[in-house]
Amino acid sequence: MAVDSKILPFEATSLEDIARVAVEARAAYASQKTKNIEWRLVQLRKLYWGITDYTPKFLDALKQDIGKPSTEALLGEISYLLSDLHLSLKKLKTWVKDDTDLDYPLTFAPLKPRIRKEPLGTVLIIGPYNYPLMLNIAPLIGAISAGCTAVIKPSESAPATAMVMKEVVEKYLDPGSFHVVNGTVPETTALLNEKWDKIFYTGNPTVARIIAKKAAETLTPVTLELGGRNPAFVSKAANLALAARRLLWGKTNNAGQVCMSHNYVCVEQEVVDDFIKFLNASYNDFFPQGPKASPDYGSIINERQFDRLKNMLDTTSGKIVMGGETDKSELFIAPTAVLVDSIDDPMMTNESFGPIWSIYPVDDVEEAIKVMNKVDPTPLSLMTFGSKSENEQGNSQPRHIGRATINDAYMHGAVSTLPFGGVGESGTGAYHGRASFDCFTHRRTVVATPNWLDKLLRVRYAPYSPAELKQY
């Protein structure tokens, strides 16, 4: 399809239109058209081609919004979604089948128990700014696959991507069933005042609480994909050069604005100096002219987030051991590591969600685990680096972690089809791949009692006969 390369200026959806799209999405669901599997496959295919046709425009928009280098946009947004779509297109006919492999006493076998996969209904998806395309469309793939209709509310902090996404959804997908509403708090509040069958929210825990409270008024189920202060651990037996290189990648990719990236790294005391040396070597390898001049390093989303990150650097009592350069006029913050000696340091107590992080020396893995359980008992992800055998054993891990990667930064998140979700403060529920289908599906248990079974069921009818119970 022909694509106009011009990105329209950001325009908030009117409150009248918000009410209208909610009604339309509910009516489209009530029409039952989404029950048809072929219809869902057509929508998924159209979405696939929409993303493909609009890739150059999305790349421009992502560059405009968050300075995302094209390679990062292609890997972390476009290909990521296409792979998720590919899986859904391939597997949907299997996923929608009734589950019959169930556990029940043999006496109930004549009832042919099964679980049917019913769509939840009409859902609201609210997305954040850091992966402004992927984090809205990935849940949409699940909603379409499950047979739901959906309204997306992208982040106003990534307005260009939001406008292109609206264009794609309106041009390629069924017009009544899928909508993009743009706006800020008033528009989101208007959306939250509508009745939904599920709200899927990705963002910070403060807004998550607003959403969960609002949803509770109507007992609307929620999936919450949140953040946290994610730990990493580097043992003295790890390949330090590799650990440094991989962890640095985790904080340069998307300029560290990745919910899964490490907030702090516990490093065994005796290798701290070497680890810092390797970090700086990788920094110079990645950015020979410095990150500011590099086309392969993104920017901070806006001044508000820049100020928040700068404030963390200004108030730390730690020592900057890598990077440190900032420039507000270009929303630039260099990848920066800060050596700290207190878990009460602002670099440890705040979620970074940017390219800055702390190094906290520890005596051993036991101390690291104590630190992790204190700093944030329920982070989204954990990354550990050890010797070959430590890695094979999986290293000791703290109590509650959303997801984990051994011997790398957040590669658990790079596999677009594996379940993704937090625990406690880092979220509830999971999606991606099969989990996205499940996220928007109601598993309806169905049994059917045959006529002939009434003879055996006689025992349940009054007048009761306790003697007869013996045969059961």
- Binding residues vs ligand NAD (CB under 6 A): 126-130, 135, 153, 155-157, 184-185, 188, 202-204, 207, 210, 225-227, 259, 351, 353, 380, 422, 427
Whose Cβ is closer to ligand NAD: residue 73's or residue 272's?
A: 73
* Min dist. Cβ of residue 321 to ligand NAD (A): 24
CB–CB of 25/197 below 8 Å? no
* Min dist. Cβ of residue 296 to ligand NAD (A): 21
* Min dist. Cβ of residue 261 to ligand NAD (A): 9
Any idea what DSSP says for residue 78?
I
Whose Cβ is closer to ligand NAD: residue 386's or residue 422's?
A: 422
CA distance linking residue 66 with residue 418, whole number of Å = 26
Tokens standing for 294?
């590099």
CA distance linking residue 28 with residue 20, whole number of Å = 12
CA distance linking residue 123 with residue 135, whole number of Å = 15
* Min dist. Cβ of residue 29 to ligand NAD (A): 23
Rg (CA), the chain: 25
* Min dist. Cβ of residue 177 to ligand NAD (A): 21
Is-catalytic flag, 259? yes
Whose Cβ is closer to ligand NAD: residue 305's or residue 316's?
A: 305
Whose Cβ is closer to ligand NAD: residue 67's or residue 128's?
A: 128
Any idea what DSSP says for residue 429?
-
Residue 454: exposed, middle, or buried by beta-carbon count in 10 A (0-12, 13-18, 19+)? Answer: exposed
Q: Please give the distance of CA 323 from its chain centroid, rounded to a whole number.
A: 28
* Min dist. Cβ of residue 444 to ligand NAD (A): 28
How do beta strands 319-322 and 336-339 pair? antiparallel
Whose Cβ is closer to ligand NAD: residue 168's or residue 301's?
A: 301
Given the residues 24, 72, 167, 225, the one annotated as active site: 225
Three-state DSSP state, 253: helix
Given the residues 77, 167, 259, 268, the one annotated as active site: 259
Residue nearest to ligand NAD (CB): 227
CA-wise closest residue to 356 among 311, 417, 313: 313
Residue 265: exposed, middle, or buried by beta-carbon count in 10 A (0-12, 13-18, 19+)? Answer: buried
CA-wise closest residue to 264 among 430, 100, 379: 379
Residue 212: exposed, middle, or buried by beta-carbon count in 10 A (0-12, 13-18, 19+)? Answer: middle
Tell me how many helices (H) and strands (E) the chain has: 18, 17
How do beta strands 114-119 and 441-446 pair? antiparallel
Is-catalytic flag, 167? no
Whose Cβ is closer to ligand NAD: residue 42's or residue 207's?
A: 207
Q: How far is CA 364 from CA 233, 268, 271, in A?
A: 10, 6, 11
Whose Cβ is closer to ligand NAD: residue 169's or residue 321's?
A: 169
* Min dist. Cβ of residue 153 to ligand NAD (A): 5
Any idea what DSSP says for residue 158?
S
Whose Cβ is closer to ligand NAD: residue 96's or residue 211's?
A: 211
* Min dist. Cβ of residue 210 to ligand NAD (A): 5
CB–CB of 34/149 below 8 Å? yes
Catalytic residue ranges: 225, 259
